[in-house]
Amino acid sequence: MRVLADHATVVVSGTKLAEEIGISRSAVWRSVEHLRELGVAIAGHPRTGYQLEQVPDLLLAEFIEPHLRGTIFSGTGKLRHSFRTGSTNALAMQAGAAGEPEGAVWLAEEQTAGRGRGGHAWESAKSVGIYCSVLLRPPLSPADALPLSLAAGLATAAAVEEATGLVADLRWPNDLLLGGKKFCGILAEMNAEATRVRYAVIGVGINVNQARFSGELAETATSLRLATGREWSRLELAVALLKFLDGAYRALVERGPGPVVAAFEQRSSYARGKRVRVKDAGLPEYEGVTDGLDARGFLQVKTAAGVRTVLSGGVREI
Amino acid sequence: MNQKELKELIEFLIEKDIAEFELERGDVKVRVKRAGEQTVVSAPPHMAFTHHAPAPPPEAVASPAPLTTTQKAAAMADEGLHIVKSPIVGTYYESPSPGSPPFVKVGDSVEAGEALCIIEAMKLMNEIESDVAGEVVKKLAANGQPVEYGQPLFAIRQK
């Protein structure tokens, strides 16, 4: 793949590919067939060779890594790309349990078991979204690490703004919305002892180039393409995402939750004065008006019976 | 109302076995609801305590909440049982996803490092592991319900 990309739109002979990769010509043919199955446009020219018809918008490590110098995600072998996997969060959690150092990144073109909060599925169709999970080992107590969840949403919003110019709204704690519809979800998972986080995984799913959503999702979901009428480079967006995640993570570790909470209050229309219905895990639903975040980052909602603290999520505008 | 008075009020409510109680005086509002063995206190922090210095932080307000559970846990600790506590405020889940079987049941043997439950806060799923090997003697939190920082979750008889 990399050799073809280096000679994009030029015909490369099977022999040259075989030499550069160090495999046989028939293995080259099998690899090309495999890439075609995965949706890469490769033309075959009899007796001359193979040609990459267009540089594909694939989230390959070779394309992303050079842009990440100086971040915790920089380094050989830290980015792992798969064309198809169950869930990038599952891969990252397994690696965390196995002792993998922080800064590893999992990117997938397609997830077959993408998941969100509370067992919800995350639709992860092939090469139209970004499905990305990062492994972190914050030197923090579990309570101090919670604002990672807010910081991840803020970082993703900043990345979307840099790559597309679009200013997304944030729904506490970290859903990204355009025109009131969700186009990005974040699932953070953590494994901790009483006083120390062992590892944390932040999974980000962004709907980029989906042309439509079917059924119930059409009511509540959107993509950057649906919101703007044009396609966007997933590659640029993924690079921006990892850069901003790096910055947000370092800032939280160095300066604590204060700046994260303040930034969220400034950026999110949900932070203050929004009428919401709250379905917080196993508790009875209630309604109220949002009233800022507390010092730890929990959303406060004014209700007829006093101010309540939203613990988990499930906040919807009414 | 100060923290001591609030504590006395809760103790009184428990003693008289009153399930739900609400008090409003000017801009001071206190609501106490006891769900089964647990006591849930919701007192809006800035509204309720700004008039009496020093104002206790929200954590302090909430700390008398799991009173009965904490007392039970203290008694169990006396019996030599190991108590696993919640490292964060959040929602307690006994299983990895809704509808799936719980991580552990009473009577199960667990190893150190084995997952016991998930506490969710700010949509961050926090896997809590057992820090000892032993037998799960009691599960002290209710599925889908809020837990406080430091609230006892499991009593484990160490091997």
Contact B99 A119 (CB under 8 A): yes
Which pLDDT value is given to residue A31? 79
Confidence of residue A68 (pLDDT cuts 50, 70, 90): very high
- Using the Cα atoms of residue A174, residue A301, residue B56 and residue B21 in order, give the sign of their dihedral: negative
Q: What CA–CA distances, in Å, run from A282 to A106, A124, A314? A: 32, 28, 11
The tokens for B22 are 């609400």
Contacts of B26 in chain A (CB under 8 A): none
The shortest C-alpha distance from A135 to chain B (Å) reads: 14
Q: How many CB pairs under 8 A join A and B?
A: 120
Q: Are β-strands A175-178 and A169-171 bridged in parallel, bridged antiparallel, or unpaired?
A: antiparallel
Whether residues B82 and B48 share a domain: the answer is: no
State the first-to-last Cα distance of chain B, in angstroms, to the nearest integer. Answer: 46
B107 part of contact set with chain A, CB < 8 Å: no
Whether residues B140 and B84 share a domain: the answer is: yes
What is the rounded average pLDDT of the residues A11-19?
A: 75
* Number of domains composing chain B: 2
Which pLDDT value is given to residue A280? 85
Whether residues B13 and B50 share a domain: the answer is: yes
Which pLDDT value is given to residue A5? 60
The shortest C-alpha distance from A102 to chain B (Å) reads: 18
Q: Which domain holds residue B29?
A: 3-62
Whether residues B125 and B80 share a domain: the answer is: yes
Q: Going edge to edge, which strands form the sheet with B28-35? A: B20-25, B28-35, B38-42
A284 part of contact set with chain B, CB < 8 Å: no
B88 part of contact set with chain A, CB < 8 Å: yes
Q: Which of A174-178, A193-197, B49-53, B141-145 has the lowest mean pLDDT?
A: B49-53
Whether residues B131 and B116 share a domain: the answer is: yes
Whether residues B58 and B89 share a domain: the answer is: no
CATH code at position B127: 2.40.50.100
Which pLDDT value is given to residue A7? 58
Confidence of residue B13 (pLDDT cuts 50, 70, 90): low
- Percentage, residues of chain A above pLDDT 90: 62
What would the pLDDT profile of B27-79 be if each residue is shown by its tens digit?
555 666 655 444 444 444 443 333 344 444 444 444 444 556 666 666 666 67
Contacts of B141 in chain A (CB under 8 A): none
Which pLDDT value is given to residue A70? 94
The number of C-alpha atoms within 13 Å of B25 and in the hemisphere containing its C-beta is: 6
Confidence of residue A190 (pLDDT cuts 50, 70, 90): very high
Whether residues B53 and B96 share a domain: the answer is: no
Whether residues B26 and B84 share a domain: the answer is: no
Last residue of a domain, one of B62, B85, B113: B62
| Average pLDDT taken over every residue of chain A | 88
- Classify residue A214 as exposed, middle or buried by CB count within 10 Å of its CB (0-12, 13-18, 19+): exposed
Last residue of a domain, one of B62, B80, B107: B62
| CA–CA dist A160, A164 (Å, integer) | 6
| CA–CA dist B61, B41 (Å, integer) | 8
Whether residues B74 and B23 share a domain: the answer is: no
Which pLDDT value is given to residue A193? 79
A291 part of contact set with chain B, CB < 8 Å: no
Residue A133 belongs to what H/E stretch? strand A129-136
Q: Going edge to edge, which strands form the sheet with B109-110? A: B82-85, B152-158, B134-139, B109-110
Whether residues B40 and B78 share a domain: the answer is: no
Query: Which chain A residue lies closest to B97 (C-alpha atoms)?
Result: A119
Reference A310, options B98, B95, B91; nearest CA is B91
Which of A281, A306, A307 is facing B144, going by the closest CB pair? A281
Greater confidence (A299 vs B14) lies with A299
Which pLDDT value is given to residue A21? 76
User: How many of the other CB atoms lie within 10 Å of CB of A313?
Assistant: 24
Greater confidence (A32 vs A235) lies with A235
* Phi-psi domain of A297 (left: phi exceeds 0; alpha: psi -120 through 50; beta: other): left
Greater confidence (A118 vs B51) lies with A118
Last residue of a domain, one of B43, B62, B81: B62
The shortest C-alpha distance from B141 to chain A (Å) reads: 13
Whether residues B47 and B80 share a domain: the answer is: no
What is the rounded average pLDDT of the residues A152-176?
A: 96
| CA–CA dist B121, A109 (Å, integer) | 29
The shortest C-alpha distance from A217 to chain B (Å) reads: 20
Mutation site, B22, B122, B151, B154, interface A, largest A CB count within 10 A: B122
What is the rounded average pLDDT of the residues A247-272?
A: 96
DSSP code string of B112-128: TT-EEEEEEETTEEEEE
Whether residues B103 and B25 share a domain: the answer is: no
| CA–CA dist B5, B108 (Å, integer) | 41
SS3 A261: helix
Confidence of residue A37 (pLDDT cuts 50, 70, 90): confident
Greater confidence (B53 vs A233) lies with A233
Which pLDDT value is given to residue B51? 39
B47 part of contact set with chain A, CB < 8 Å: yes
- Top-confidence range, A51-55, A119-123, A160-164: A160-164
A216 part of contact set with chain B, CB < 8 Å: no
